[in-house]
C-alpha cells in the first residue's frame, strides 16, 4: 500500500491524496461503503461501484459469526466472496463486541453510545465482559459465548483477507469517567502492540491501522495519538467516543500529532456536517452505516436535508428525489411517487433505489470536498452546501 | 400491435412469432416477467432487461389497491411509473379478486386453487361475492370493500395504460362442478362482450385480449374458444382452471379453435415442464410469479431441477449455481456459498441475485424453445432438457 498526498487545504489540516492498494486506488478524502456481512445491503457490487464508492468495509464481528471467517477465507477473501473487485477493509470487531450487547438506541449511527465498561447506569445487562487480555461476549444472534483477544481479532482479519485491517481496541462510552477512559486507553495501547505483533507474525500483504482512543479528553487524545503514532502502523483509525460537538476538536488534537504521510480513518462517521469537520481536521477515510440504514427506512438525503419519503405529500410527487442528482435512481425516471409506493408496499426495490441514492449522495459530497481541496474551492463548496442543508 | 408468425413446429400447434407493441417487440414464445405492484420484486428495470425479459405484466388488482390506478396513470402509465421502457401488460384483476380471499395454499403457483364460487367445502370464508354484474370483494390489505365489474376493470386498465390488457373473467376452481363451470363460463362470455364494448368506448392504442375459460371439460373449453374467438379481440388469454395433468390437452382444444394470426397468452404458467407442453400446444406468452417467488425462498432453478440453497451442503460450495448459466449472478463469481450466506443472514441481496438467476433460467428456457422451433431442433432441445431435469 502507498499513500501520496496531492494537495492541502490551506489554514486547516485537510488534505487530498491517493491511497493505492493491491485492489485499486482510493481517492481521499473518501467515504467508505459499509458492507457489514459481505454485502452493502440491497446493492450488487455493480451498483456499489456505480455510486462512485471505491472501497467497502466489512465488519469482522458479523463475518466471524456469519458465515464464519473460514468460509470467507476459503472463498478467496472478502472481496472475492462478495464479488467486489476493489479495495476492502475490515474493522477489528471491537466496536460491535462492546456495543451490540449494551444500551444502544437511536443514536447508534451517531458515533456515540454506551459501551459495556465505563458506561453509565441504566444500560441493558451487558452481553460482553472485558478483561486485560480480551473480551468475552455473547452473539447477538443466538446468545452463544465467544472471545476476542487482539491476537484473535488480527487472526480473523487475516483470514477474511481485506486490504486494510484494524488493531483491536476498546471503544468506551462518552459518559465514562476520565479515570475509566484512561484505563481503557492504556488497555487499547497494550492491545495495539499485541495486534501489531500478531500481524507481523502472520505476514502477508495486508496493512494494519492502529486505533487512537482517549474519549473527549485533550490530554488522553494527545497521549493516545503519540503512543499509537510511535508504533509501526501503516495508517490510523480514530475511534469514538466523544459527543458530536467535540468531534472536530478531538480529531484535530489527534491529526496534529499523527504523521502526515500515513492515512487516517475516522471510524463510524457519515453525517454530512460531521464529514466537513472531519475533512478539515485531517481525516482521509470515513465509514458509516447511516446513509444506507436510513435509506432503508425511507429517509432520503437531499441538498436541503433528509426527507421522509413516506410523508403523504410524496404519494403524488412525480419528480426525482433530486433533479441534479446523477445516481441511477434519480437519472432513470424513478419519482418520489414511485419510491413512496415501493416503501408503502414494502417492496425490496425500495431499499435498493433508496440506498443507491443515499450512498451516491454521500460519496459525491466527499468527492466534492476532495475537489474543493484540489482546486481551492473548498470553502465555497462548504458554504454553498451548508446554506441549503437543514440538519 | 401486430403479430407475425415466423415458423411452425411440425406435427404440433407450436409456433414462433414476433409481437410488435408501441414499446418494442416480443419474440414469442416468450416468458412474461411478473411485476405485480409495478416492480419485478427485488430487480431494477436494468436487471429485468439483463435477464432477457422483453415484457412485464402488472396485476390490476394490486395496482388498483396500491398505489391506486390514478397515480400510475398520472405518472404516465405502468412502464413510465416503474422505469421500464419495454412492452407491458396487465391482467384483468379477476384472478386475484377470486383467489386472494379464498382457500389458497401451497398450490397457489400451480395454476389451480379454490375460487370463491363453485369451490369445494372447507375453504376459508370468502372475501368476495360474485353476481352477474361483477364482483364485490375485500382488500387483502385492510379488509375494505371494493367492486369490480367488466367495465370497471377495463377502465382501470386503461388508466394504468399497459400495451396489452385483458377482459374481465371468472376463474373457477378445478373442483367446481361441471354445472358451475358452465354457469361461470357463460358469465365470462357476457363479461367479455362488456369488456370489449368498454374498451372500444374508451379508445386509445392499447390492445385487448379476451379470456377463454371452461375448466377441464372439452365441450366447455371448445365452446368458450369458439365464443371468444368470434369476438373482436386482438389476442387471447387462456385461463385456468384445470388440474396440472389436464393442462396440455385443454390448451390444445382451445388452440385448435382460436385464429392462428392472433397471439395466445396462457395465464399463470411458469413451471419448466408445463412450458414445453404449452408451447407445443400453441401458446405464445406465459406469465407466472413462481420463478421469482421461489427465488426469494432460496429455491434456485438448475438444469437438474430446483435446489434449496439453504441446504447445509451449500455453505461451503464455492461454485456458481450453474456453471453454464449466463446470468449476472452466475457470471460474476457469486458462489452457492455466498448465496447460502446471504439467505441465512436474510440479506436483501439474496432475493436480488436469486431472482436474476431464476428469471434468466426461465426466459432462456423459453428462448431455447423458440430457437428450436426456428431451426427445427425443438424435440432435441426438449429431450435434452427433460432427460436432465428432475421435477
Residues from chain B contacting residue A81 (CB–CB below 8 Å): 335, 337-338
Alpha carbon distances (Å) from B170 to B62, B173, B225? 17, 10, 15
Question: Is residue A328 domain-shared with residue A243, that is, in the same domain?
Answer: no
For an interface test with A, give the residue of B316, B320, B341, B353 to mutate (most A CBs within 10 A): B341
Active-site position among A91, A163, A246, A274: A91
CA distance A114 to A180: 13
For chain B, say whether A292 makes contact (Cβ under 8 Å): no
Shortest Cα–Cα distance, B36 to chain A (Å): 10
Q: Is B25 helix (H, G, I), strand (E, B) or coil?
A: strand
Q: Which three cell numbers stand for residue B292?
A: 421469482
**Co-location of B138 and B259 in the same domain:** yes
Domain boundary among A239, A259, A288: A288
- Nine-digit cell at A263? 492515512
Phi, psi of B222 (to 5 degrees): -70, -40
Q: Are A254 and A276 in contact (CB under 8 A)?
A: no
Whether residue B67 and residue A39 make contact (CB cut-off 8 A), yes or no, is no
Instruction: Report cis status (omega within 30 of 0) of the bond before A67.
Output: yes
Residue B130, CB half-sphere, CA atoms under 13 Å: how many?
26
What the block records as the C-alpha cell of A109 is 449511527
CATH of residue A72:
3.20.20.105
CA–CA distance from B85 to each of A316, B48, B49, B113, B184 (Å)? 21, 11, 10, 34, 37
> In this structure, what C-alpha cell is assigned to residue A348?
425490496
Task: List, in sequence order, the alpha helices (H) in chain B.
Answer: 45-50, 60-65, 69-74, 78-82, 94-99, 150-160, 178-202, 218-229, 247-255, 272-280, 290-296, 328-331, 336-344, 348-374, 378-388
Of B98, B90, B101, whose CA–CA distance to B60 is shortest?
Answer: B90
A272 and A344 in a single domain? The answer is no
What's the Cα-to-Cα distance from B368 to each of B86, B139, B214, B319, rounded to whole Å? 21, 40, 31, 24
Q: For A344, which of B66, B333, B351 is closest by C-beta distance?
A: B66
Residue A23, number of CB atoms within 10 A of its CB: 17
Distance CA B91, CA B36 (A): 10
User: Where among A256, A288, A320 does a domain terminate?
Assistant: A288
Any domain includes A391: no
Other CB atoms within a 10 A radius of the CB of residue A308 amount to 14
Q: Which residues pair with B236 in a beta bridge?
A: B210, B264
Instruction: List, for residues B1-60, the tens digit of each pLDDT value.
Output: 999 999 999 999 999 999 999 999 999 999 999 999 999 999 999 999 999 999 999 999
User: How many CA atoms does the CB half-sphere of A236 hold within 13 Å?
Assistant: 27
| Nearest chain A Cα distance for residue B37, angstroms | 8
| Measured torsion, CA atoms of residues B283, B351, B86, B210, in degrees rounded to the nearest 10 | 40
Spatial strand order in the sheet of A24-28? A2-8, A15-21, A24-28
Whether residues A266 and A311 fall in one domain: no
Among B67, B312, B330, B349, pick the best mutation site for testing chain A contact (most A Cβ within 10 A). Answer: B349
Same domain, A374 and A227: no
What residue numbers bound the domain in which B55 lies? 2-288
- Asked if the Cβ–Cβ distance from A67 to B352 is below 8 Å, we say no
**How many domains are there within chain A?**
2
Q: Does B45 touch chain A (CB under 8 A)?
A: yes
Given this model, what pLDDT does residue A174 score? 74
**DSSP-derived secondary structure letter, B363:** H
List beta partners, residue B208. B165
Domain boundary among B231, B261, B288: B288
**Model confidence, pTM:** 0.94
Active site residue B287: yes
DSSP state of A125: P
C-alpha dist (Å) from residue A246 to A205, A265, A369? 36, 17, 21
* Whether B11 and B126 share a structural domain: yes
Poorest-pLDDT segment among A277-291, B126-140, B206-220: B126-140
CA distances from A41 to A330, B4, B32, B57, B294 (A): 19, 44, 28, 27, 21
Q: What is the pLDDT of residue A111?
A: 27
Task: Return the DSSP state at B295.
Answer: H
What's the DSSP call for residue B221?
Answer: H
Statement to judge: residues A27 and A57 lie in one domain: yes
| Minimum distance, in Å, between the CA of residue B43 and any CA atom of chain A | 6
Q: Kindly state the percentage of chain B with pLDDT values over 90.
A: 82
Same domain as B383, residue B235: no
Contact between chains at A75 and B45 (C-beta distance less than 8 A): no
Across the interface, do A316 and B71 touch by the CB < 8 Å criterion?
yes
Mean pLDDT of B197-215: 97
Mean pLDDT, consecutive 10-residue segments, chain A of 391 residues? 96 97 98 98 98 98 97 98 98 83 36 38 59 88 90 98 97 82 95 98 98 93 98 95 81 97 95 95 96 97 97 98 97 98 98 98 98 98 95 77
Residue A211 sits at φ, ψ, to 5 deg, of: -110, 125
Residues A177 and A215 in one domain: yes
Q: How far is A252 from chain B (nearest CA, A)?
A: 38
pLDDT at position B143: 80
In a domain, A334, yes or no: yes
A318's grid cell: 412525480
Measured between alpha carbons, how far is residue B178 from residues B184, B244, B267 in Å?
10, 17, 21
Contact between B60 and B90 (Cβ < 8 Å): yes
Please report, rounded to a whole number, the percentage of residues in chain B having pLDDT higher than 70: 92
Q: Using CA coordinates, name the residue in chain A closest to B345.
A: A66
A279 shares its domain with A301: no
Arithmetic mean of pLDDT, B273-301: 97
CA distances from A129 to A60, A115, A367, B322 (A): 18, 11, 40, 45
pLDDT surpassing 60 at residue B109:
no
A316: which DSSP letter?
G
At B175-205, the pLDDT tens digits run: 778 898 899 999 999 999 999 999 999 999 9
Question: Is A204 in the same domain as A242?
Answer: yes
Q: What is the pLDDT of residue B127?
A: 65
A42 vs B349: CB contact, 8 Å cut-off?
yes
Q: Is A335 on the interface with B (CB under 8 A)?
A: yes
Task: Give the closest of A333, A338, A348 to B348, CB-based.
Answer: A348
Q: What cell does B88 get?
A: 407491458
Window 340-379 of B: residues touching A by CB (8 A cutoff) are: 340-342, 344-345, 347-349, 351-353
Question: What pLDDT is attached to residue A244?
Answer: 74
ipTM of this predicted complex? 0.94
Active-site entry in B46, B91, B169, B317: B91
Contacts of B57 (CB under 8 A, 6+ apart): B32, B33, B34, B35, B88, B89, B90, B91, B162, B287
Residue A58 sits in the same domain as residue A150: yes
Amino acid at each position: 500500500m502507498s499513500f501520496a498526498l496531492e494537495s492541502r487545504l490551506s489554514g486547516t489540516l485537510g488534505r487530498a491524496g491517493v491511497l493505492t492498494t493491491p485492489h485499486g486506488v482510493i481517492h481521499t478524502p473518501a467515504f467508505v461503503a459499509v458492507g457489514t456481512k459481505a454485502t452493502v445491503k440491497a446493492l450488487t457490487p455493480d451498483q456499489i461501484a456505480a455510486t462512485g464508492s471505491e472501497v467497502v468495509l466489512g465488519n469482522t464481528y458479523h463475518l466471524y459469526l456469519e458465515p464464519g471467517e473460514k468460509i470467507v477465507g476459503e472463498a478467496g477473501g472478502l472481496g472475492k466472496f462478495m464479488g467486489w473487485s476493489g479495495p476492502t477493509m475490515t474493522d477489528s470487531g471491537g466496536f460491535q463486541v462492546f456495543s451490540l450487547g449494551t444500551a444502544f438506541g437511536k443514536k447508534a449511527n451517531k458515533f456515540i453510545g454506551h459501551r459495556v465498561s465505563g458506561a453509565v447506569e441504566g444500560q441493558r445487562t451487558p452481553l460482553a465482559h472485558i478483561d486485560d487480555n480480551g473480551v468475552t461476549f455473547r452473539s447477538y444472534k443466538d446468545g452463544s459465548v465467544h472471545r476476542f483477544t487482539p491476537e484473535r481479532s488480527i487472526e480473523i482479519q487475516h483470514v477474511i483477507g481485506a486490504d486494510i485491517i484494524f488493531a483491536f481496541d476498546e471503544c468506551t462510552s462518552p459518559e465514562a469517567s476520565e479515570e475509566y477512559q484512561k484505563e481503557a486507553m492504556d488497555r487499547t495501547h497494550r492491545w495495539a502492540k499485541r495486534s501489531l505483533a500478531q500481524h507481523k507474525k502472520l505476514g502477508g500483504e495486508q496493512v494494519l491501522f492502529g486505533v487512537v482512543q482517549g474519549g473527549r479528553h485533550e490530554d488522553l487524545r494527545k497521549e493516545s495519538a503519540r503512543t499509537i503514532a510511535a508504533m509501526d502502523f501503516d495508517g490510523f483509525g480514530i475511534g469514538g467516543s466523544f459527543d458530536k460537538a467535540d468531534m472536530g476538536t478531538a480529531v484535530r488534537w489527534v491529526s496534529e500529532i499523527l504523521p502526515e504521510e500515513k492515512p487516517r480513518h475516522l471510524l463510524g462517521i457519515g453525517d454530512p456536517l460531521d464529514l466537513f469537520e472531519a475533512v478539515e481536521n485531517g481525516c482521509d477515510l470515513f465509514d458509516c452505516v447511516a446513509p444506507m440504514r436510513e435509506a432503508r427506512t425511507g429517509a432520503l438525503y437531499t441538498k436541503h436535508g433528509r426527507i421522509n419519503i413516506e410523508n403523504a405529500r410524496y404519494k403524488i410527487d412525480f419528480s426525482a428525489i433530486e433533479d441534479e442528482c446523477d445516481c441511477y435512481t434519480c437519472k432513470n425516471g424513478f419519482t418520489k411517487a414511485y419510491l413512496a409506493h415501493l416503501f408503502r408496499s414494502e417492496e425490496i426495490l425500495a431499499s435498493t433505489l433508496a440506498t443507491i441514492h443515499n450512498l451516491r449522495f454521500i460519496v459525491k459530497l466527499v468527492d466534492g470536498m476532495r475537489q474543493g481541496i484540489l482546486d481551492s474551492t473548498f470553502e465555497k463548496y462548504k458554504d454553498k452546501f451548508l446554506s441549503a442543508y437543514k440538519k
